Structures are given as structure tokens and as C-alpha cells.
Structure 1
Amino acid sequence: MKRFFVFTIILISVFACNNISSTKENNSAIQDSIQYYIQNAHNFELPENEVVQSLNKAQDLIKTLPRDSVYFKNKIYVAFIYDNIGKKQEFKNTVLELIDEAIQAKDSFYLARAYTYLGEYYADNVVMDSAVINFQNAEKIYFGIKDNIGIGRMHVKMATAKHKVRDYLGSEKSAVLALTYIRLENNKLLEYEAYNILGITCLDIKDYEKAKEYFQKAFKIASEEQLINFGSYQTMAVSLNNLGWINLKTSNYREALSYFNQAIQEPDLLQEYPALYATILDNKAKAKLRLGDFSNLPNDFYESLKIREELQLVPEIVNSRINLSEYYEKKGCFR
């Protein structure tokens, strides 16, 4: 009986190991298929309906996986692609599912990320109260797991959201609080972003000295650190434009023009960020106009306007037309 019992235990163990091995192999095969469909959806040459079909197939396969980090990571990739192709409602629905599933799985990391993405969805749609609430939900989770970078990032996002609804005091407080946590971890990209939003907020409340101070701190980081390694592009162009703008606002036109000239020469600016290129070009033309330098005017104004019209940037288009009116008024003619 003893020998039979031992044999039975060994036999059950073998079957269990085989089942575990089979499950792993099956999950691996499913993951390979998911990756295939996700990569296919990343093909920018595909028509939108084929991209959506690939995402739907990926979603169906993801549902068969256990609720672990691989599952959540796959679902986040799908959400990102929905967002990239402008399927905002599908992005939101996927993120809401992520929140429910992360709560059920008691996964704090992915729950915080899901709240962050939902906050960004509301921020993009200018529903700032909802954006801030979701950023706060994420911040509470990061605080609970003692993630200083997560806390700092949420406060930068809250500062940006509050600025958009002209809550300048709230924006400043959030950005200063962000720096408190960011400095604990020495994260230069987030520090750069915090100084930028502080500078923009001070600019809007006409505290030009403070704005210049914060923009200079952001510029120092952009010029000394390789922020491109953290996925942030054209930070030098942004900082140079900000410094140019603050000088333009304080009537230091020659210094402003110098900054805009440097900014416009940043490599690949037009290809990577045409909207930013158009803004810098428009600002450069404005500085020249204020100096009475009409070289290449109104061509620069019109080039900027053309880019903005192609991108359908309505407030910027209005601004371009105002600047053109100022140009023709100074030239003493109307068009």
C-alpha cells in the first residue's frame, strides 16, 4: 500500500507539472499572437478599420490571460493605440475596464496608472475637475506605496490641469509640491516640467521676474541633461521659446529675437513638432516687427499661419491673423 501511495503521489505530481507546463506554453503562444496584432496595429500605413480589427483581436486574446502584469501591460498598449488613432471613447472604455480589473486584482501599480490615463483623457477633453480627481486618486495610491516619482508626476499633471482652468494659485501650489517629491529622487525631466509650468503660471499672473527665473531653471536642465533619453523631445526649443516670450512681454525685443533665432534652429523641429515650429516662427516675426525689422515679413507670418491652418489650430490661427493685421497697420497699408 505504501509503494502504491508513493507511486500515486508521483503520478499526480507529474500530471500537475505537465498541466503547468502546458498552461505556460499556451499563454506564451497567446502572448505571441497578441504581440503580432499589437504590432500590426502600430503600422501607420494600415487603414483605420484594419487597425481596429487588429486591436479587437488583441483584446479578445488578452481576455483569456490571467490578471497579472502581462495582462495589464497588454491592455495598456491597446489603450494607447486607441488614443493614437483618435478613438477616444474606446481609449476611455479600456481604461475604465483597467481600473475595475486592477481593483479586483489588488494591483496598486496598474490601478494608479489607469487613474492617471483617465485623468489625461479628461484633461484632453478639458473636463478639468474630473482630470484633477483622477490624478488625486493616483497620487493617493503612489503615496501609499511611497513612490515619490509617482506623487511628483501627479502634482505636475494637476498643476497643468489647474492652469488650464485659470486656477493659477492652485497650479503654483501643485507645481511647488511636485518639486518637493521630485527632488527626493533627482528626476530631471519631471523637474524640468515643474519649472516650466511654474514659469507659465507666473507669466499669466504677470510676475515676469519669477517667470524668467523658472524658465531659466528649466533651460539649465534642458541644456545640461539628455532629456531625450527620457522620451522628451525638443525641450531646448521649448525653453528657448519661453525665454524669448518673457523678453518679448517685457519689451526686450532684441534679446527675445536672439532666443527665437536659436529656438528655430533646433534640429528636426519642424518635422517633430510643427505646431511648436509655427509658434516660434510667429514669435520671431513679432519680435522683428517690434524692432522695425521687416526682413522676410510678412512671409514668416504667412508660413506660420499655413502650418496652423493645416493642423487646424483655431486659437493660433486667430493669433496669426491678428499679428498680420499689426504688420499691415505698421506698413501703412491694408490687405
Structure 2
Amino acid sequence: MKHVTIVVPDCRVNVNTIGGAYDILCRANEYWKQAGHPSLLTIEIAGFVPEVRSHNGYLSIRPADIRTIRHTDLVLIPAVLGGYEEAVQQNQELLDWIRLQYKCGAEVASMCSGGFLLAATGLLQNRACSIHWNKTEEFERMFPGITIATGKIITHENGIYTNGGAYSFLNLVLYLVEILFDRSVAIFCSKVFQIDVERITQSPFTIFQVQKEHDDELIRDAQTYIEEHLDTRISFEKLAVHLAVSRRNFDRRFIRATGNTPVEYLQRVKIEAAKKELERGRKTIFEVMMDVGYTDDKTFRDVFRKITGLSPADYRNRYNKERISV
């Protein structure tokens, strides 16, 4: 028998991640018992707070007192709804409890932005982790020593699990079901809860955020120039001269300000524009390619797949409104 604790932090949390994880694990255990096996899991929702409510106040959970749990085999940390620094400060007692459980042999998994609390325990040091694609900048600012496994839905290393975010926490729970039970139980749960069991990357869902939250005015000017000239061939040598800076210094400042090289930034801006065209328009892939400044079909497709994980045709088939409604 294994004991699972879904912790309830003292802050605003996504109660859906708590309830969703609880429902799937309970259903997996029931299916296991129906197949003639003894019960495998005891699942508790516990914390140092008497109650947690959803952000709109309609749902509430009354967790058990976590101080009564001496030992658990798996700790699940739910998603936190913003205010991450304050959440870390308010939950030091819970973070100590999680550290102690891991030291005593428990495994620990974070769902979506629960990764901020997991990182604050220190258990992610020297490990890669997943976090929602639109939380990476804030995560890197708070925890600069932790490597983000960009694009990954799930990471698993030495009993520590992290999840890329939003409702992909369901994929993490299925992953844990397969480890706790077996593949057949995970597949059963994927069918019952209608979860795509094969999702492994966030890339198709990522929306590129133009990285302008920095203080380098020269680089902001360069970013604006790139965004306004997507359909032309940009020479970064000439752009550096135009901005009165050496190419080497330009590259160094660009990376420091945005986290990307100028070429990487250009590619990501072009592909984001191409994605929007493929989602909403009736243009051919060739027309979209030309609109964003690519003239070589193979290069465009290779860069598109590298960034999104899908070919332009697959992306259009998945997200284009006209095709979806056919």
C-alpha cells in the first residue's frame, strides 16, 4: 500500500489540479481493485490550512491536517495562481515538510506553477524541470540556478517530477498512474478521462512572447526593426552598424537582454507570425512562408518543426478554424 499526499499550500491555488489528481488516482485504484488486486493507494488531501477556495469562491476543499501524516510515499504540489514570491514566504512550514518527506524516501511531483514551491524547497538544484511556457521568465528570475527543460511536458529525475503546466497536469497524473500501477491502468484512465496519453511537448501550444522587459533601449530598437521587417532579408551586420555598435557587442547585448541570439529571435518571431496566418487564414503554406520572409521551403519547414514540434501542414490541420469545422 502506498500513501499519496496532495498538499494544499497557504495561498491561491488551482483547485482543479487538486481535484483532478485526486479523481484520477482514485479511479485508477478502483480499476486496479476491480481487476482482482488489493488496493494499492491511500490518497489524502492535506495542508496546514483549514480550507482552500477556488479563485471565484465557488469551490472549496477542507484538507486534512498534514501534521498527522508522519510518512507518505508521493507528494503532489498543486498549481499556484500567481504571487509566487509571497507563496514561497507563506509556506515555509509546508516546504520544510516536503523536504523532510523526500529525505525519508518520498517522491515529489509539482503540477504546473506548483514548480515554484518545489523549486523553493531546494530539491530541483542540479536538475532540469518543466514549467508552463509563459512562466519561464519569472521562474528564471526567482531561481536562476535551475535549468528549465524547455518545451517538455514532464521531467522525472531521482524521484522528482515536474509538469509543464495548465491542464497538462493530467498528463503528469497519467504518467504517475503508469508508474504506480501499470500501462494498462494508465490507458484505461486516459480513455475514461479522455486525456491524450502521448502528449510529450508543450511546443505546439507555446505563444512566443516578445522579450522586451529589459532596460536596453538599443536592443528594443533592434527587436522593433526585426518585427517590422519580417518579409525582408535582415543583415545583422548592417543592423549593428545602423545602431552604431559592433556586431560582437550587439550579439552579446541581445542575448543578455532577451535570452536568444538575434538569429533565434528572428526565427521565433517569423514562426509566430506564420502560426497566426495558418490559424486564421486561407493562404497556402507557400504564401505564408513568403509572407514571413522565407524563400526556401525546406528551411522554413525545418525551422517551423524545430520550434513548434509540428510541420506547417500538421499545425494548420490542427488549428485552422476552416479545416476544423469541415
Query: Structure 1 length as normaliser, TM-score?
Result: 0.30
Query: Which protein, 1 or 2, shows the higher relative CO under an 8 Å CA cutoff with sep ≥ 6?
Result: 2
Asked which structure has the greater CA Rg, the reply is 1
| Greater per-residue strand proportion | 2
| Greater per-residue helix proportion | 1
Query: Structure 2 length as normaliser, TM-score?
Result: 0.30
